[in-house]
């Protein structure tokens, strides 16, 4: 059975004592898991006692991420920090950020639509001027 590096386990314990690394015999990868106060009863997920979902439910953990052997690094802690809702202001802040992003995206799309509409209108206006004889079409010099 493979083991996670000691330095990683020590830093993980300091980072969050509710996190653990468990070797999965089924997928042959490390599972980063977090203890939860309430979990599903093991029988509600799978009946296979070797299945990772069953083991997690029995132990009272949820899956946070999967780490392949040999890919332990400190960037994992940066990713955990970035994904932690509470250190980023909680659900309210995350919700506000998502709404701000969606509003900005919608405004950008309307601006792009308006710009395309202006370009098409200007082109149509020029075509109508030529058709009505208010302007002369000039293909350019040297044609």
Q: For the segment 8-55, what is each residue's pLDDT rounded down to a tens digit?
A: 999 999 999 999 999 999 999 999 999 988 766 655 555 667 788 888
| Contact between 56 and 62 (Cβ < 8 Å) | yes
- Under DSSP, the state recorded for 17 is T
pLDDT band at 2; cut points 50, 70, 90:
confident
Q: Which two tokens stand for residue 65?
A: 């991420």
**Is pTM beyond 0.75 here?**
no
Q: Across residues 59-85, what is the average pLDDT?
A: 90
pLDDT band at 57; cut points 50, 70, 90:
confident
Q: Across residues 72-92, what is the average pLDDT?
A: 86
Domain range list for the chain:
6-84, 88-134
**Count helices and strands in the chain by DSSP H and E runs:** 4, 3
Higher pLDDT, 54 or 7: 7
Q: Across residues 65-69, what is the average pLDDT?
A: 93
Distance CA 55, CA 100 (A): 40
Higher pLDDT, 88 or 65: 65
Distance CA 100, CA 14 (A): 34
The yes-or-no verdict on residue 138 having pLDDT over 70 is no
């Amino acid at each position: 059975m493979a083991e996670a590096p000691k330095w990683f386990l020590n830093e993980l314990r300091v980072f969050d004592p509710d996190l653990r690394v468990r070797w999965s015999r089924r997928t042959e990868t490390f599972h980063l898991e977090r203890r939860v106060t309430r979990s599903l009863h093991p029988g509600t997920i799978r009946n296979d006692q070797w299945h990772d979902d069953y083991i997690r439910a029995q132990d009272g953990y949820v899956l946070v991420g999967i780490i392949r052997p040999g890919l332990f690094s400190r960037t994992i802690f940066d990713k955990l920090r970035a994904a932690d809702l509470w250190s980023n202001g909680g659900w309210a802040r995350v919700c506000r950020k998502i709404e701000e992003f969606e509003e900005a995206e919608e405004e950008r799309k309307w601006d792009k639509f308006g710009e395309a509409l202006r370009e098409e209108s200007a082109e149509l206006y020029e075509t109508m001027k030529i058709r009505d004889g208010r302007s002369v079409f000039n293909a350019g010099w040297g044609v």
